[in-house]
Amino acid sequence: MCGIVGYLGEKNIKEVLLNGLKELEYRGYDSAGIAVLNNDRFSIFKAVGKLENLIEKTKEFQTQGFGIGIGHTRWATHGKPTEINAHPHTGEESYVVHNGIIENYAILKNMLTKAGVKFLSQTDTEVIVHLFEYYKKNTQNSFEAFEKTVQNLEGAYAILLVTKDAPDRIFFAKKGSPLLVGKSKEQEFYFASSDTAVIGEAKEVHYFDDGDYGYVSKEEIRIFDASGKEKQPHWQPLSTNKLSAQKGGFRFFMEKEIYEQATVVADTLLGRLLEDHIAFEELDETLFDQINEIKLCACGTSYHAALASSYLFERVAKVRTSVEIASEFRYKEPLLCKDTLFVVISQSGETADTLETLKMAKAAGLKTLAICNVDNSSMVRLADASILTRAGIEKGVASTKAFATQMSVLWMLSLFVAQKQNSITKEVLQEHLQTLRTLPKILEVNPSMHERIRRLSKRYLHGHGFFFIGRDIFFPLALEGALKLKEISYLHAEGYPSGEMKHGPIALADPELFTIALLPKNLLFEKSRSNIEELSARDATICVISSEVYEKADDHISIAPQPHYMQEFFEMMVALQLLSLEISVRLGNDVDMPRNLAKSVTVE
């Protein structure tokens, strides 16, 4: 996701900015840029792709003495990853970098366009710098213009702005997106969206609160709160450990990524989940023409997302849907028909088995679509169309936020297909859109649930195995829960359809068989409850995840009561991820790098 840096001082400004951006690389980005004001001259550099491209472009550039600079790594949301859309964005004599979303940008753009302003990019960010210059025309005071600009922005932002009129100042504002300022000596300030970018440079940092805005100059820092009241910075010593800073205070990347799901899914929905319909501007209008079947193909966690979404494609979009494990599909000599849309799902976009199936489908003349987290990956380049899941870089080997974003995209895609095929009523569509809108909130980790799971986990460190059971779309979720546990705890776990237990596995039931039962209130509740009862009658140890209390269970992980089964799906997903995390921690395993596993499986 996007990263921000800034510097005011006498060091080599270019190097400070580029080093800071390098430290933010782990968050993922698709373009980068810097703007430096030194000796009354602005120098701007932007490049698409890796930071190396920007470093190459700035090779000859040097600064001398005092100056100011801002830098940014961008993960495309509004507009494609091009140089024009890369930050910093410019007006006539000012530059801005921004993280977040300006929700009222269309209204502001309209107003500014009418006032004669010409826009270059497709971004929401560009309105900030033009609005600032628009206000500056009526006041000779840059700070007043900045203050007015901030007052007129709606949405979430971390902003740094520099202007030729104030060559010794960096203006800043923060609401909803992280921003901090650091210092190590007099007449020098650093800015960053995460402290990793300033570790080794700044000795002390101040973290801005939502609503804060102000400026730094050689002499001072001035901070105002949302009501315009001045406040003093609260400087605190900065950690010197980059790795722990990257983990954002969490013990493991996996834990951080579980907690991040609320924000990354908000990004996934952005510009796609609209008032009364779903839009995918990256898809050609004709992609679904003459399509009578959807075939989803993937491995591991991505396969579970495929399987789960197949319930939605058939139930909601009314399209015949089949699901394939990529390594099986490759050699089964499948019959492929041209009226099938072949969809590969992959976090990395490089998984060898999935990539090969994409090649097979292309060779057979099928239309293809990649749902992927990594832009420019092999699958994205090869498929006819692609949808990026926007999870940001996932570091934990056990996939969490990638799954959450895949599920969000696939759910939206099922609605998109339903709209196209006219197979959904307005009312049902509205109900789904409304439910999708609640996802970021649903995905916020409830601290008391986490604590409950942490305490509960000590009871599940032995036994002769786990069964994760669920019905319908909760069956693939059970598979995913079991996979998570296997990967990081090394305990044997199986996912099973609840109704299938009596056809064999129930023979294993005894107090040492742990069953994690998914019991949604809004889907097949009575049926699932009967299945759980069959196990409890045979004395299996049962932990139910549900908003309902089930008196025959040994343990209960409580989720909030929700009106829609998809909300229960996502809440249970978080509970399952936390359960495997806490069991793994208690067993003393390496959560982020479990034995025998690699993040990207590029071999058959």
Cβ proximity to ligand F6R: between 483 and 540 the closer is 483
CA 44 to chain CA mean position, Å: 29
Q: Is 299 designated active site?
A: no
Instruction: Give the DSSP letter of residue 599.
Output: S
**Do residues 560 and 464 lie in contact, with contact meaning Cβ atoms separated by under 8 Å?**
no
Q: Least separation, in Å, of the C-beta of 483 and ligand F6R?
A: 6
* Active-site option among 2, 299, 372, 543: 2
- Classify residue 271 as left (phi > 0), alpha (psi -120 to 50) or beta: left
Residue 124's contacts (CB-CB under 8 Å, 6 or more residues apart) are 77, 78, 101, 102, 105, 155
Q: Least separation, in Å, of the C-beta of 354 and ligand F6R?
A: 5
Q: Least separation, in Å, of the C-beta of 347 and ligand F6R?
A: 4
Q: Least separation, in Å, of the C-beta of 506 and ligand F6R?
A: 28
Cβ proximity to ligand F6R: between 246 and 351 the closer is 351
**Residue 66: other Cβ atoms inside 10 A:** 17
Q: Least separation, in Å, of the C-beta of 481 and ligand F6R?
A: 11
Contact positions toward ligand F6R, by CB under 6 A? 299-302, 346-348, 351, 354, 398-399, 483, 487, 600-601
Work out the widest C-alpha separation in the chain, in whole angstroms.
82
Q: Is 599 designated active site?
A: yes
Compute CA distances 399 → 240, 421, 471, whole Å: 28, 33, 22
Compute the residue count for the chain: 604
Instruction: Give the DSSP letter of residue 60.
Output: T
Cβ proximity to ligand F6R: between 523 and 579 the closer is 579
Which tokens go with 555? Answer: 């343990």
Select the residue whose beta carbon is closest to ligand F6R and give its number.
300
Cβ proximity to ligand F6R: between 147 and 375 the closer is 375
Q: Least separation, in Å, of the C-beta of 514 and ligand F6R?
A: 20
CA 205 to chain CA mean position, Å: 26
Closest-CA residue to 30 (of 71, 73, 70): 73
What pairs with residue 340 in β-bridges?
293
In single-letter form, the type of residue at position 63 comes to T
* Active-site option among 218, 242, 318, 599: 599
Give CA angle at 521 (520, 526), nearest 5°. Answer: 95
**Do residues 338 and 351 lie in contact, with contact meaning Cβ atoms separated by under 8 Å?**
no
**Do residues 485 and 586 lie in contact, with contact meaning Cβ atoms separated by under 8 Å?**
no
Give the catalytic positions in this structure: 2, 599
